[in-house]
Amino acid sequence: MLKLLKTHFGYDAFRPLQAEIIDTVLNKKDALVLMPTGGGKSLCFQLPALVVDGVTVVISPLIALMKDQVDSLTANGIPAAFLNSTLNEQEMYSIQARALSGELKILYLAPERLVLPAFQDFLERLDVGIIAIDEAHCISEWGHDFRPDYRHLKKLRHLFPTVPIIALTATATPQVREDILNQLEMRGAQVFVSSFNRPNLHYTVQPKYNSFDQLIQLLKPLKNQPAIIYCFSRKDTESLADDLCRAGFPALPYHAGLERELRKHTQDQFIRDEVSIIVATIAFGMGIDKPDVRLVAHMDLPKTIESYYQETGRAGRDGLPSDCVLFYTFGDKRKQEYFINQIENDQERAFAQAKLEQIVDYCESSTCRRQTLLQYFGETWKETKCQACDNCVSAPQEIYEATETAQKILSAVLKTGERFGVDHICNVLRGTKRKRVLENHHDALSVYGILRDLPAHELSSLIRFMQRKGYLEKNEGEYPTLRVSQFGKTALLDRARIFLPKVNFEQKTVLTPAFSKEGLPFEPELFEKLRLQRKIIADKLNVPPFIIFGDRTLQEMAYYLPQSLESLAKIFGVGVRKLEEYGNDFLHHIKTYAQIKNLAERPQLKPAGRVRISSANRSITRTDSTFQKTKELLDKKYSIAKIAHERGMAESTITQHVTKLFDEDPKLDIEYLRPDPARLQKIKAAFQKTDTFLLGPVKAILGDEFSYEEIRLARLFL
């Protein structure tokens, strides 16, 4: 597994739990994997797929993500494809034929296909080695993104009762975990729960008072690096994107109301680094696997902690420092409550309201943000400070005596009958002419206008602080009205001194440089040259730039300055296939830059993995032991059937080994495997007739007289 990890993905070691999960899958046992976004979930099924007989079937609800993952796998030398509604009938047929022939190792499917009878027939004929269910929380009604199509997935258990199922999700409460196991009938499955902590993410909640200017201050130091900005409504996304463009920050809106082709084009522009800022509703992001998003900003209150965690999880998937900023005002809670009140089912409405209260508590908490998030998912956080959230890195809030102001607030709540919420109390105290104030004759009260000099956002914050300190409390009922607590009444009668935290609304958000200690001091100028080279290659291959190399890989190149392919092979994320395909292009820029700047290669402590580069032709040789064993038997002139029997593998797998070995060494002696001349001629004629190298169309012409293995082998001699 470590050899394959370096060969195909360019990594030298597993992340926590990956090795244990892969072992479980290889031992044909079910597994439920809870791992944060960017934690390496996909590798847990992609790597074992390379050695397990048959094709690994991956269920994913994310059409855009399917293409990105298939592009990435293909770039890493792994045969993969997807089947979803974006393909025409001929493309579907061709991919199904490749899957049936054993040509594919990984096949991505959309869940809705499972209800189609013709598709079920195709599945029954497929040699399935592993079933992977991504975004598994979608199967649970208690999950934040329930999808009815996922309820059909139990058909897979019935179709393939002995095939191991691995279900994966980044967000699932204990209740949702249990539901996933029950719905997929994964009895006895091993459950792997990785830490939900994303140490590279910096969490901040900013008081929202002039959010556009606040946002501009966040974007200025990012220098056109990718950012996602979430808004509550479709209209807000369009107006904010326009405002950003006028301010010199090119941005595009994204929401479900846009034409499908426009949404796809917008998403593609973002993924391909052609636009750096997307302003979106929550419709955006589920299908995004872009690893280098440096900022996720919420302009409005999210619905739940789960959705907030998942949306912020789109930042920093490459492990590099990134920011998550939420602009909060208590008034935004009402927007969410409006829609919650439309829910007819009492239990569902109460559930949604409780979830909303949890995210409000998160925003108003003065304790470690990370600790609050982890506790929500049932994880104990042993530290008291993370040093990577606003509450941990900012100076403690200044406490001041606010007795006079607090008394006026308590009096206003009492004099208005303890029947109103924060906003109304603010309007009365600030002396506004709002309709509700006038209708209730609250403009005639002695407290009317007595705090008119306090800005609304500051006054509402003081009222919220008084709630947290116990002077005020919520009334029971559907609406969030306030009453004075017994503690507050006593303080008012006794004229007790009241101390409250002082809110500094001018305090700037603390961004990643304050907590990033792991970043390499790479050469910025060289990094930009490497980014440009990456974009040129990506455009040529029609794939997103991160498919070629991630930012972390480029940063290591721009720091270590490797001067040879051997040194480049040590860089994180440089596997055999990519070294062979792109290595010299990047080396050219690195060597030229180092020569001009008179810089030497910096030593790397890590080994070069398992990539061997011959001094004769600088070609790359596969050292996978499973292929080597097949080669040894080929050297002994064993037949395909005899090798398969000797190794306990399917003949289709051995035929694939032969194909790969011959691709890497065309001098390999396989002449003894040449098919009968008459049969070879028939296969040749079929290939010529279809004018393709694909096996499926040729098999359709030749019929059952010829197996896929024979056609695949014959193709080597044609």
Query: Which letter does DSSP use for residue 120 in this model?
Result: H
Place of tokens 């000099």: 453
Looking up tokens 């992001």, which residue turns up? 285
* Residue of 613, 625, 606 whose CA lies nearest to 560: 606
Collapse the DSSP code of 350 into the 3-class scheme (helix H, G, I; strand E, B; otherwise coil) and give the result: helix
pLDDT value, residue 245: 93
Task: For residue range 600-622, list pLDDT tens digits in order.
Answer: 998 875 544 434 333 322 333 33
pLDDT for 390: 86
pTM for the predicted model, two decimal places: 0.67
- Rounded to whole angstroms, the Cα distance separating 382 from 647 reads 49
| Token pair recorded at residue 651 | 């003949």
CATH assignment of 399-501, among 3.60.15.10, 1.10.10.10, 3.40.50.720, 3.90.230.10: 1.10.10.10
Residue stretches of the chain with pLDDT short of 70:
141-145, 283-288, 395-397, 477-480, 503-519, 605-626, 648-650, 691-697
Q: Report how far residue 448's alpha carbon sits from residue 433's, in angstroms, rounded to the nearest whole number.
A: 10
* Whether the Cβ atoms of residue 429 and residue 447 lie closer than 8 Å to each other: yes
CATH number of 520-621: 1.10.150.80
End-to-end CA distance of the chain: 33
Tell me how far apart the alpha carbons of residues 533 and 552 are, in angstroms, rounded to a whole number.
15
List 328's β-bridge partners, or say none.
207
Neighbours of 431 (CB within 10 A): 14
Residue with tokens 């107006």: 239
Domain boundaries, the chain: 2-193, 201-367+374-383, 399-501, 520-621, 625-717
Cβ atoms of residues 99 and 55 within 8 Å: yes
- Report the candidate in 94, 539, 505, 553 with the shortest Cα–Cα distance to residue 328: 505
Give 533-555 as a 3 state SS string.
Answer: HHHHHHHHHCCCHHHHCCHHHHH
Distance of alpha carbon 309 from the chain centroid: 11
State the CB neighbour count (10 A cutoff) for residue 437.
Answer: 20
CA–CA separation, 255 vs 282, rounded Å? 8
Whether 201-367+374-383 shares its CATH topology with 625-717 is answered: no
Distance in angstroms (rounded) separating the CA atoms of residues 229 and 249: 13
DSSP per-residue letters across 459-492: HHHHHHHHHHTTSEEEPSSSS--EEE-HHHHHHH
Q: What is the DSSP string of 54-84?
A: SEEEEE-S-HHHHHHHHHHHHHTT--EEEES
- Structural fold of domain 201-367+374-383: Rossmann fold (3.40.50)
Which class in CATH covers the domain with range 2-193? alpha beta
Which superfamily, per CATH, for 625-717?
ATP-dependent DNA helicase RecQ (1.10.10.1390)
What residue type is assigned to position 450 of the chain? I
Q: For the chain, how many residues are written?
A: 718
Q: Report how far residue 108's alpha carbon sits from residue 129's, in angstroms, rounded to the nearest whole number.
A: 13
What pLDDT, on a 0 to 100 scale, did the predictor assign at position 260? Answer: 82
- Sign of CA pseudo-dihedral 273, 279, 280, 285: positive
